[in-house]
Chains A and B, each alone.
Chain A
Amino acid sequence: MIQTDDLVILTMFRIPESREKAFALIIRKYQEKLYWHVRRMVVEHEDANDVLQNVFIKVWRSLDKFREDSQLYTWLYKIASNESLTFLDQKKKRQVISIDGHRVDLTDRIMADKDFDVNKAEWKLQLAIQQLPEKQRIVFNLRYYEEMPYATMSEVLETTEGALKASYHHAVKKIEAFILHH
């Protein structure tokens, strides 16, 4: 069931006079969580900002159609995940890539970060995450950073809980292997 405060916000959103105010509350409440979810996927801040703005514009346009039988944040994560994947897909098409070009590109961007330190485990972890296929990366990020239950993740990614558990298992094993070898 939907949270009470989200229900209040949604009710406000349906009243034309308080529509914008309600939307501002949604942004304030979810902007940081969604930003980090997107940022871990697209790596660069400018890209994350573009994707996040698109996410909220989609929310503004389709919040009227939101069904209250699911959580608002689940719905927001679904939009953010889809937007991130679409962005990466478009970026992949625009780039001149070698066989493994896209992944190398994201790895390069991480290594170009002013705070990057190859000796720190958390940066190694970031490099390892970028080696994962995109959907597996989303599953790992949602579980590892957001601590999202599989049932909720199942709604976000429209995948069975069993498949998600298996995906997370494979992701952790790949990351472990990368860290051990680098």
Chain B
Amino acid sequence: MNRNIHIENELKNLSSRVAEIPVQHTFTVPEKYFEGLEQSIISRIRLEEGIISAADEIQQLSPALAQIIQKNTYTVDSDFFDKKSATLAEISKKKPAHVVHFQLRKLAYKIAIAASFVVLVGLALLKAYQSNSQVDLVKQGLALQTDDQFNEYLAKLDTDEILTYLKHHSLPSDKEHIGSMIDAASLPGEDAYFDETFLDTLLITN
């Protein structure tokens, strides 16, 4: 054994008797101990840390099954995988795969949302259009262009016809509008009206 000169001299200076003793291992080690130590330590670590390979697991569960499982029961033709890969390569050359861009899908969503918005706005406008006053509709229905033409046409109509029409076609909004136009203070008092029942009775008896 090649000794470090400095350390050997140090020992000689301390004790020439001890320095004379050959430096060697006196103890012996079991045969092939160091060859199996690495696997022994790694197996212990796997066991303690719960790290276990599939092979080790089946070996622990059933050594007999571990022996069987190594072999494939089924067989395929020896060139099966070569042919398969060649066929797949052929297909992939002929028909390039369709690439779907994520951006395109995003755009479709945007268009759908915009269309929905337009439909909603359209429906709102239609509703507003339908709620126009009855007079406007009559004007439009009769294709009258100005208020003067409308008033002229209205003057030709019989009062009963107008009343009947209004009774059957007036909207609640029109009634409210008319109501708002009448000032209750300007109406005649209750005394100003005849009692029609009394009047009828009086006329019949006289």
Q: Which residues of A contact B (CB under 8 A)?
A: 20, 23-24, 27-28, 31-32, 35-36, 39-40, 43, 45, 49, 52-53, 56-57, 60, 113-115, 121-126, 143-145, 147, 168-169, 172-173, 175-176, 179-180
Contacts and interface: CB of A to CB of B under 8 A. Distances in A.
Interface residues of B, number: 29
A173 B17 CA distance: 10
Contact of A24 (B18, B21, B28, B38): B38
30 contacts: A20-B42, A23-B42, A23-B45, A24-B42, A27-B38, A28-B38, A35-B37, A39-B27, A45-B30, A52-B37, A53-B44, A56-B41, A57-B44, A57-B45, A60-B45, A115-B26, A115-B28, A122-B22, A122-B24, A122-B26, A144-B23, A147-B3, A147-B4, A147-B7, A173-B14, A173-B15, A175-B15, A175-B18, A176-B18, A179-B17
B126 interface: no
B17 A27 contact: no
B23 A145 contact: yes
B29 interface: yes
Contact of B34 (A35, A114, A124): A35
Nearest to A145: B23
A158 to B, nearest CB: 21
A28 B24 CA distance: 22
B22 A36 contact: no
A143 B14 CA distance: 13
Contacts of B22: 121-122
B48 interface: yes
Given A27-B41, A28-B38, A39-B27, 18 more contacts: A27-B38, A31-B37, A32-B34, A35-B37, A52-B37, A53-B40, A53-B41, A53-B44, A57-B41, A115-B26, A121-B20, A122-B26, A125-B21, A125-B26, A144-B11, A169-B14, A175-B18, A176-B14
A162 B94 CA distance: 81
A14 B48 CA distance: 20
B25 to A, nearest CB: 7
Contacts of B42: 20, 23-24, 27
B133 to A, nearest CB: 79
Identify which of B27, B28, B34 gathers the most chain A CB atoms within 10 Å of its CB: B27
A88 B183 CA distance: 115
Contacts of B28: 114-115
A121 B34 CA distance: 27
B18 A35 contact: no
Contacts of A24: 38, 42
B72 to A, nearest CB: 27
B7 A143 contact: yes
A151 to B, nearest CB: 13
A172 B44 contact: no
Interface in B20-64: 20-30, 33-34, 37-38, 40-42, 44-45, 48
Given A60-B45, A122-B22, A172-B15, A113 B27 contact: yes
A22 to B, nearest CB: 12
A120 to B, nearest CB: 8
B53 to A, nearest CB: 10
A82 to B, nearest CB: 18
B52 to A, nearest CB: 12
Contacts of A43: 27
